[in-house]
Amino acid sequence: MDKKILVAAVAAAMMAPSFASADVKLYGIAQVEYNIEDSSASGQDSVQSVDDDGVRSRIGVKFSEKLGGGLKAFGKFEWAFDPADASGSNSGAAGGLNQRDTHVGLKSAWGSLAAGSFHSPYKTAGGVKWDPWTATHLQARRSGGMFGGVGIGGTNGFIRNAIYYTSPNVNGFKVQFAIMPDETGTSTMNNTNNNDSSDNDYSLAVQYKNGPWHAIFAHNRNNIGPNADDETLTKVGLRWKHAAWTLQGQYAVARDAAASAGGTTPGVAGNYRPGAGDDADIIWLNGQYKAGNNIFSLSYSNMDVDDNQGGSDYEYDTWTVGVIHKFSKKTRIFGGYIQTDGDTGGTGANPNDRDAWTFGMRKDF
């Protein structure tokens, strides 16, 4: 079935010139990394891998049509895959493709309104858009720097069965809001049993841009059900970008964590996340300097988790350093090092440490 979908996508893009009023574009990314990791949690040293563990690789089709009167119809179909692993362990079905954001909608002067599957407003306000290492072994999410997980919110999955509104830009402000009015899961957002108690989960983001400044506020609510507190994620962030320099940071809070704050770390490391019902705070800071075709980046993050299940609190500190070299806008190589120091008792006991070196190449088309 996946092969048929891919053939249809390619055929649609090739036929684009035959449509007088429609615009169809085939696009994609191919990325592979060579990675070496040490993990005290798993007891593994110098574990090597060749993969696209962050699932950056994808192929998709975008299409739009002008309807007159300033109204435009648009849509998108996108699938993930792992170029290095035919078994599909990172991309979904064996040897195939896994659905990413897929939706259809209308756009005009009042903004845009669409329905389907999306990146959540929380995810794309700051977060993965600001981290230069997103979808690599150096990424902040699931490494102690940003909340991961699937379902509503987080920074690692997609919201499904959703209605998504984006406002026009008004004096630098933009609002994004998505709601899942009849979600079919209780906490993981993937349960096949209908449950009214999980209706009306939502994700909200407000962004403001003015000159070199970019400020964000984002909030999610995941309606767990009648016998549990709602999971909420909230963050604020600020970015300053001028000439060769970019300085940015964000502060995120999870309360009564569940699906959105879940997710395991890349590679062989342990879980850098709050457990079910826990509260957590994350500070993430990043600086970048651009010199010619090179971008040098340094990041630091701290995650502090309060265990609400009667266990020990724990804390993680993560450092990431690396460089990206762009041969062109669509071709780059990158490399760097990430280190996470953690303990699960607040006293240095039961360390959950991770060290990783990675080198990779990415080609957009």
Residues 139-191: pLDDT tens digits? 998 888 998 766 667 787 888 889 999 999 999 999 999 999 875 544 333 33
Q: Is the confidence at residue 133, as pLDDT, over 70? A: yes
Q: Is the confidence at residue 18, as pLDDT, over 50? A: no
Hey, what's the torsion of the CAs at 83, 128, 259, 233, to 10 degrees? 180
pLDDT computed for residue 278 by the predictor: 86
SS3 letters across 51-81: ECCCCCCEEEEEEEEEEECCEEEEEEEEEEC
Tell me the range of 3-17, 94-108, 323-337 where mean pLDDT is highest. Answer: 323-337
pLDDT computed for residue 1 by the predictor: 42
pLDDT computed for residue 91 by the predictor: 42
> Sorting pLDDT into bands at 50, 70 and 90, what band is 354?
confident
pLDDT computed for residue 148 by the predictor: 78
Give this prediction's pTM: 0.86
Enclosing H/E stretch for 233 = strand 231-242
Give the Å distances, CA to CA, from 153 to 37, 204, 314, 354.
28, 9, 23, 26
CATH tag, 2-364: 2.40.160.10
Q: Find, among 34, 36, 33, 54, the residue nearest to 354 by Cα.
A: 36
Residues 297-333: pLDDT tens digits? 999 999 998 887 666 788 889 999 999 999 999 999 9
- For the residues 46-68, what does the mean pLDDT come to? 91
pLDDT computed for residue 8 by the predictor: 47
Write down the mean pLDDT value for the chain.
83
pLDDT computed for residue 94 by the predictor: 46
pLDDT computed for residue 271 by the predictor: 65
> Sorting pLDDT into bands at 50, 70 and 90, what band is 112?
very high
| Higher pLDDT, residue 225 or 205 | 205
For the chain, percent of residues with pLDDT exceeding 90 = 55
Q: Which amino acid is at 114?
A: A
pLDDT computed for residue 192 by the predictor: 33
Q: Find, among 274, 277, 324, the residue nearest to 299 by Cα.
A: 324
Specify whether the CB–CB gap between 114 and 103 falls below 8 A: yes
Specify whether the CB–CB gap between 55 and 38 falls below 8 A: no
Least confident of 7-21, 235-249, 261-275: 7-21
Tell me the range of 23-27, 140-144, 348-352 where mean pLDDT is highest. Answer: 23-27
| Higher pLDDT, residue 39 or 67 | 67
pLDDT computed for residue 5 by the predictor: 47
Give the C-alpha separation, 241 to 287, whole Å: 10
pLDDT computed for residue 313 by the predictor: 80
| Higher pLDDT, residue 106 or 225 | 106
Q: Is the confidence at residue 135, as pLDDT, over 70? A: yes
pLDDT computed for residue 350 by the predictor: 59
pLDDT computed for residue 317 by the predictor: 93
pLDDT computed for residue 47 by the predictor: 86
